[in-house]
Amino acid sequence: MPAKKDDALFGAIARFHGDRPWGRTLDAGTGSHSLGWLLSREPAHLTAVTGAPSRQTALEAEYADSLRPGDQIITGNWTDPTLLHGETFDVVLADYLMGAIDGFAPYFQERLFGRMRPHISGRLYMVGMEPVPWSGDTEGKRIIVEINRLRDACILLAHHRTYREYPRSWAVTNLEGHGYRVEDAISIDIIYKRRYVDGQLDVCKRKLPYLRDRRLAAELDRHIEELRSRGLHHLETAGPIRFGSDYVISATPR
């Protein structure tokens, strides 16, 4: 997952959208950042989809004072053919949905944009992340690679599913193959800071109770904290780590 929801990504969407009205808007894979930003756009109506009932409850509580009559947050899965049946939207936001969907609908990425296409009467904005490279040429980049590998290892040992990011080139090809016209695209450098180091290593910690081998869990716990210390020390002495990129794509159905 990205280091931080940077205003540059939402800023790119705002520039791509220009003065067009937001009309009926769909947050196709909602989270706190995307939901809050879309509400600030003041669409005529907002529907937000999450894959987890607990997440729906948490978001409804967080935005209780901002959701307007008619706005709705629902729990659903894009593999369900009845999800949003017959509904269309002027704007659809897929904010890191391509990477996150593997936890809810494994191997469905190839068909996701085709599944969403009938619901899009206007524009699709997709936010994605280039897969983190397997190696880095600086100490800071190597630390980021190590954090990502450790996070995924802990997730898998807990018998849970990892995210799976796709490159911008793959997303463009897939969109075009499903009958979209890609109108704009931009890549934005990722800058990793303390929030990312702590956040991803905290994910590791939350997975440890699921491990049956408690000795392994204890060793991983020590390794997690050693890597945290090393990562935070590097940030304090060398500053933020610039590595990889996010991207935003604007597309319309042909």
Q: Which domain, by its residues, includes 227? A: 7-253
| 126 belongs to a structural domain | yes
Dist CA 2 CA 70 (whole Å)? 31
Instruction: Output the average pLDDT for the chain.
Output: 95
Does some domain include residue 225?
yes
The percentage of residues in the chain with a pLDDT greater than 90, rounded to a whole number, is 92
Q: What is the per-residue pLDDT for 103?
A: 82
Rounded to two decimals, what is the model's pTM? Answer: 0.90
| CATH code of the domain in which 218 resides | 3.40.50.150
Number of folded domains in the chain? Answer: 1
Residues 144 and 241 sit within 8 Å (Cβ to Cβ): yes
Could you tell me if residue 107 is inside a domain? yes
Contacts of 150 by beta carbon, 8 Å cutoff, 6+ apart: 201, 204, 220, 223, 224, 227
List phi, psi (to 5°) of 183.
Answer: -100, -35
- Rounded CA gap, 217 and 221, in Å? 6
Q: Is the pLDDT of residue 1 over 60?
A: no
Tokens 């904010």, residue? 95
